[in-house]
A and B are shown apart, each in its own frame.
Chain A
Amino acid sequence: MNDLLLSTNEVNVLSSGGSRLTKGAALVKQLLPWLLLVVTLMVMLSWLAYKSAGRNLGAEHALQSQLSELKETDAFLDVGIYDVRSNLDADYDLLTVTYEALVSQTKAIQAQSKAMGLKNDSMTKLIEQTEIKGSLLDKFKAGHALYRNSLKYLPDSVSNVRALAVENNAPKKVDDLARSILALSLDYSITGNADKAAELRTVAANLSSIDGLDEELDDARRELVAHAYSVVFQKSAETQQFSDFAAIQFRAKVNDIANEFQQQFDIKTRLEQLYRQALIAFSAVLLVVLVFLAFRLLQSFRLINDANANLEKNVAKRTIDLNQALQQLQTQQSQIIQQEKMASLGQMVAGVAHEINTPLGYLSSGLQSAQASVPLFGQLSQAVSQMITTLTSENASQEDVERDISIAHGLATIIQEEDIVEEIDQLLKNGLFGVEQISEIVANLKDFSRLDSKSSVLYNTTDCIESTLKIATNVIKKVTIQKRLSEVPQSEGFPSQINQVLLNLITNACHATDNRDNGIVSITQTFDEQAKAIKIDIADNGTGIPRDIVGKIFDPFFTTKKVGQGTGLGLHISRQIIEAHKGKISVSSIEGKGTTFSIFLPVV
């Protein structure tokens, strides 16, 4: 019967979180902020690393050397100009090339610096300066050409004027002035002395103011004066240009730019350094945090290990406790089930005891009564034989004969008048009937209990029903039983248990009709071909079961009887038995009308 013990593992499946999917989602939700934090830290770290990475210094160096080159070019330009100034045969081309180089270099530097993201206003200004330089240069070139030209032709022009002067007998002044112009021009062109320039101008003015000259001489004089003025003009213009050139201070500007760039580079470097420092600090902090976490982790590992070590111990202890509790529960359970069996057994015994004691009663009494009358028959038989002896004797007196006849007759009369024979006959007949009754009850008991072995046997539910009805005779007394039992195939199982169920249901049905005068309990048995199952319905026309209770009646310990009158386990155990036989038990009830219990037993 162990398989019928109530399952102690009616496990409640934890449903917090529901399916795995929602569990995963919940986990993610929990971890999300941490995840975000880690990602942010990583991003910051990489950004710092990126920022602090060494940049391409090559480009910067290149730029600086480009600027140096520019300075050189500019110096070269100056030299070129100086060269051109001092050397009347110097080549302008070099100057031009140099200038173009200057321009292109400057532009290149601008482009490069722009590409490198440097501040560029100064470069733009520088380019303006190169343009200014360019225009100055053009002016210079143009002026210088004139100047050179004038200077070149001045001696000839002077000679011309002097020759003509002689020819035309011009005043000596002309000759002196012409010679003076030449000397002063040469002087001025070499020294560039401003006084000389003024002198030359004066001389040229003087020469120019001389009247009455020959036309040819006049032209020659004008030409000479023009050359002289040109020399002066150009030279001073050149000087101006030169100082303008110098004023541009190109190289200083380039230096400034170089410094500026360098500053910017330095800032970048500083920034890099800062970022590097920040990175280091950040890394240090992270490291500390990591170390801290690692430490905590280690700690928790240690705790876990300790807990693990203890866990086994605790689990073992807990298991022992639980096992004990389980055993206790199981013991109690089996005790209660035993009590229930005893209670139902007790009920059965009550009925059966009465069933047996009643026939025993009249059987025993009848035999006693019959035995009590044996002496009477003994006396009668004696009296009759005495009478016959007397009658057939030759010695007997009439007195004797009459006496003996009288005795015999008296006895016979008593027997007849008191209907003793009939009574004894009746009593003994009843007694024999009683014996049969008792035998039947004993046989029913055997059938009913069917002290089976542990393994299941083949049985027929029809026999079970009949057997149970016999056992329950006492309970059924007032009730009308309607049987409708179709033939069914054999089943396999434990018929004593099935009997227990049937007894429970039939008893309940009979009790339900207690208040009715025409209590009817109908038992119907059919075989469902399709489902290959036996269906047994036990229906009563009793008080019915209220709707709010009907769902609970199979619950353990549920009873509507008073305390002490039933453990409330009957139906629960009945259901367990039926389910152990792979069957089903159900109930339908209408309050006030009646109840039907249906058993569904599959035939394997």
Chain B
Amino acid sequence: MFNTNPSVNTKRKVLLLDDEERVLIALRAVLRHQYSVTIATEGAQALEILKNEDFHVFVSDQRMPNLTGVEVLRKARDIAPATTRLLLTGYSDLAAIIGSVNESEVFRFINKPWNNNELLSIISQAADVAEEAKTVFKANPELMVETAVVPVYKSSHRQSVLILDQDAVHVEEVRQVLDDVNLLWAKTSDEALKILSENTLGLIIVDIAIGGGVVDLMKLLKQQYPHVLSIVTTHRQDSTLLIDLINQVKIFRYLHRPYRTGLLKQYVGSAMSMQHRFEAAPALVKQQAPQQSTSSVTVSASIMDKVKALGMRLRLNFSTA
């Protein structure tokens, strides 16, 4: 812990926000040797600091008196898009989790209590990603503007999107909504792999309720091809699973069924916009890096092979897209 001791000037900066000071003290004790740590106990205070200084990482608690963590992080995304955002929480209610995915694009979820070493590893990764993003945004400032609200990006050609779902009615609804997209339908993981092997696409819409190891498949896909974004639509409400999806699949957006179709259109637009940014600055893909879980992803070897075989198809090759 004390071996790698970078000088103050090169220490990367971390901003910590929690209404309980003792948490901040504990976190600082962990991080201060490697990072330059700033602490805050109020959301407004933290955002002010963020406006005035550059940070690599911003860690916020969820349950706070005035602004919740998700709200703060959402504002932080606008103020400092290059800063990697992490949510630290003692109890993850579903609304907060969904918010953290859909609105504040949180990089990772950290549960209290945490393991110090794991924490260090996450912060390190987060800081790396931030550095990459910073470089990109410096070169292309226009990419900093998140057009998630009303996506303006229009592709010059029809994009293909895979939908992995067993509900024909829902698929039809999606087809109606995404009228300018080539929607490809798979009912099982195998079918999905087949489609993936025959098409070039950057977005999948998945109903995780279809089971059959689809979550593991998604984890695998994200590990191999982090630029492929996923939007999860499902009836299921499982906060543990959702945290898993956020951390290990880095799902782009989450929709709890039934949902407003307009919202899906909006999210797909954001995904397309993100794809566009990937096209312009492939380094941004690093923001999509999923957490490599300690428990290995259990998929059969054949599936593993199939996924790896997708390589040529799914590699970033936007010029032919």
User: What is the chain B residue whose CB lies nearest that of A360?
Assistant: B113
| Cβ distance A378 to chain B, nearest Cβ, rounded Å | 14
Q: Which A residues between 331 and 372 are near B, CB-CB below 8 angstroms?
A: 350-351, 353-366, 368-369, 372
Cβ B22 vs Cβ A364 within 8 A? no
Q: Which residue of A lies closest to B119 (CB)?
A: A365
CB-based contact B20/A364 at 8 Å = no
B65 / chain A contacts, CB cutoff of 8 Å: 477-478
Tell me whether B63 and A427 are in contact (CB under 8 A).
no
> A353-B90, A357-B91 known; A365 and B20 CB under 8 Å?
no
In chain A, what residue has the closest Cβ to B33? A418
B2 adjacent to A427 (CB under 8 Å): no
- Render B6-23 as a binary contact track against A, CB cut-off 8 A, 1 for contact: 000000000000011011
Task: Report the minimum CB–CB distance from A97 to chain B (whole Å).
Answer: 134
Q: Is the CB of A369 within 8 A of B90?
A: no
Contact indicator B115/A368 (Cβ below 8 Å):
yes
Neighbouring A residues of B66 by C-beta, 8 Å:
478
Would you call A356 and B90 a contact (CB within 8 A)?
yes
The 8 Å CB contact of B113, one of A365, A414, A426, A474, is: A365
The reply to whether the CB of B25 lies closer than 8 angstroms to some CB of chain A is: yes
Say whether B135 faces chain A, with CB atoms less than 8 Å apart. no
- Residue contact A365 to B29, C-beta cutoff 8 Å: yes
Q: Is the CB–CB distance between A365 and B116 below 8 Å?
A: yes
Interface assignment of A555: CB less than 8 Å from any CB of chain B: no
Answer yes or no: A423 CB below 8 A from chain B CBs.
yes
Report whether B113 and A357 are in contact in the complex, using a CB–CB cutoff of 8 Å. yes
Contact residues of B between 78 and 122, Cβ < 8 Å to A: 89-91, 93, 111-116, 119
A-side contacts of B63, CB under 8 Å = 354, 474
The complex places the Cα of A362 from the Cα of B25 at a distance, in Å, of 8
Of the residues B2, B19, B119, contact of A376 by C-beta under 8 Å: B2
CB of A89 to closest CB in B, whole Å? 150
Question: Closest residue of chain A to B63, judged by CB?
Answer: A354
Q: A372-B116, A376-B2, A478-B66 are in contact. Are A361 and B91 (CB under 8 A)?
A: no
Contact partners of B113 in chain A: CB under 8 A: 357, 360-361, 363-365
Q: Which residues of B lie under 8 Å from residue A353 when comparing CB positions?
A: 90-91
- Complex Cα–Cα for A376 and B33 (A): 15
Q: Does B39 contact A (CB under 8 A)?
A: no
A217 to B218, CA, bound (A): 193
Q: State whether the Cβ of A433 lies closer than 8 Å to any Cβ in chain B.
A: yes
A418 to nearest B CB, angstroms? 8
A445 to chain B, nearest CB (A): 15
With A357-B90, A361-B90 as given contacts, are A369 and B26 in contact (CB-CB < 8 Å)? yes
Whether A365 lies near B26 (C-beta < 8 A) is: yes
Chain A residues positioned under 8 Å from B93 (CB to CB): 350
Verify A359–B30 contact, CB threshold 8 A: no
> In the bound complex, do residue A430 and residue B116 qualify as a contact, i.e. CB atoms below 8 Å apart?
no
Judge if A434 is at the interface, Cβ distance under 8 Å.
Answer: yes
CB distance from A46 to the nearest CB of B (A): 84
Contact between A423 and B29, CB atoms less than 8 A apart: yes
Residues of B within 8 A of A360 (CB): 90, 112-113
**A368 vs B27: C-alpha distance when bound (angstroms):** 11
The answer to the question of B1 belonging to the interface, with a C-beta cut-off of 8 Å to chain A, is yes
| Residues 221-237 of B contacting A (Cβ, < 8 Å) | none
A369 to B65: give the CA distance in the assembly, Å: 28
* A361 and B2 within 8 A (CB): no
For A478, what are the chain B residues with a Cβ–Cβ distance below 8 Å?
65-66
**Given the complex of chains A and B, what is the CA–CA distance between A478 and B64 in angstroms?**
9
Q: How far is the CA of A351 from the CA of B93 in the complex (A)?
A: 10
Is the pair B116, A357 in contact by a Cβ cutoff of 8 Å? no
Q: Are A427 and B90 in contact (CB under 8 A)?
A: no
The answer for the CA separation of A372 and B111 in the assembled complex, in Å, is 21
Q: Contacting A434 at CB < 8 Å: which of B22, B27, B111, B114? A: B22
A358 CB to closest chain B CB (Å) equals 5
> Would you call A361 and B1 a contact (CB within 8 A)?
no
How far apart sit A602 and B127, CA to CA, in the bound complex (Å)?
Answer: 63
- When A361-B112, A364-B113, A478-B66 are in contact, do A414 and B26 touch as well, CB less than 8 Å? no
Contact of B25 among A357, A359, A427 (CB under 8 A): A427
In angstroms, how far is the closest chain A Cβ from the Cβ of B176? 25
Determine the chain A residues whose CB is within 8 A of the CB of B22 once the complex forms: 359, 362, 430, 433-434
8 Å CB interface, B20-67 against A: 20, 22-23, 25-27, 29-30, 33, 63-66
B1 contacts across to A, CB distance below 8 A: 372
Contact between chains at B114 and A365 (CB < 8 Å):
yes
- In the complex, what residues of A have CB within 8 A of residue B33's CB? 418
User: Which residue on chain A has the smallest CB distance to residue B90?
Assistant: A357
Q: Which residues of B contact A430 (CB under 8 A)?
A: 22, 25-26
Closest residue to B93 on the A side, CB-wise?
A350
- Contacts A376-B2, A474-B63: A362 and B91 contacting too (C-beta < 8 A)? no
Q: Which residue of B has the minimal Cβ distance to A426?
A: B25
Tell me the residues in window 477-501 of chain A with beta carbons closer than 8 Å to chain B beta carbons. 477-478
Q: Which of A227-268 contact B (CB under 8 A)?
A: none
Name the A residues within 8 Å of B25 (CB-CB).
Answer: 362, 426-427, 430
Kindly provide the distance from the CB of A432 to the nearest chain B CB, expressed in whole angstroms.
11
- Cα-based distance from A376 to B66 in the complex (angstroms): 41
Distance A98 CA – B119 CA, assembled complex (angstroms): 162
User: What chain A residues lie within 8 Å of B26 (beta carbons)?
Assistant: 361-362, 365-366, 369, 427, 430
Known A369-B30, A427-B26: A361·B116 in contact at CB below 8 Å: no
CA distance A414 to B33 in the complex (A): 12
CB distance A358 to B29 under 8 Å?
no
List chain A residues, Cβ under 8 A from B115.
368
Find out whether the CB atom of B30 lies under 8 angstroms from the CB atom of A358.
no
Q: Which residues of B contact A358 (CB under 8 A)?
A: 20, 23, 90, 112
CA gap between A365 and B18 in the complex, in Å: 15
CA distance A44 to B142 in the complex (A): 114
Bound-complex Cα distance A109 to B317 (A): 150
Q: Report how far A123 CA is from B65 CA in the complex, Å.
A: 129
Q: Which chain B positions have C-beta within 8 A of A414?
A: 2
In A353-410, which residues have CB < 8 Å from any B CB? 353-366, 368-369, 372, 376
**Contact in complex: A369, B2 (CB < 8 Å):** no
With a cutoff of 8 Å between Cβ atoms, the chain B residues found around residue A350 in the complex are 91, 93
Residues of A within 8 A of B19 (CB): 477
Instruction: Tell me how far the C-beta of A564 lies from the nearest C-beta in chain B, rounded to whole angstroms.
Output: 10
> Contact string, B131-159, partner A, CB cutoff 8 A, digits 1/0?
00000000000000000000000000000
B residues near A356, Cβ cutoff 8 Å: 90
What's the Cα separation between A360 and B112 when bound, in Å? Answer: 7
Q: Which residue of B lies closest to A353 (CB)?
A: B91
Q: Which residues in chain A, 416-431, are within 8 Å of chain B measured between CB atoms?
A: 418, 423, 426-427, 430
Contact indicator A362/B116 (Cβ below 8 Å): no
Interface residues, chain B, with chain A CB atoms under 8 Å away: 1-2, 19-20, 22-23, 25-27, 29-30, 33, 63-66, 89-91, 93, 111-116, 119
19 contacts between A and B (CB under 8 A): A351-B91, A353-B91, A354-B91, A360-B90, A360-B113, A361-B90, A361-B113, A362-B22, A362-B23, A365-B27, A365-B30, A368-B30, A368-B115, A372-B116, A414-B2, A423-B29, A430-B25, A430-B26, A433-B22
Given contacts A360-B112, A361-B26, A427-B29, 12 further A-B contacts (CB under 8 A): A350-B91, A355-B90, A357-B90, A357-B111, A358-B20, A361-B90, A362-B22, A362-B25, A362-B26, A365-B29, A365-B114, A418-B33
- Which 10 pairs from chain A and chain B are nearest by CB? A357-B90, A361-B112, A362-B26, A364-B113, A365-B26, A354-B90, A353-B91, A354-B91, A478-B65, A357-B112
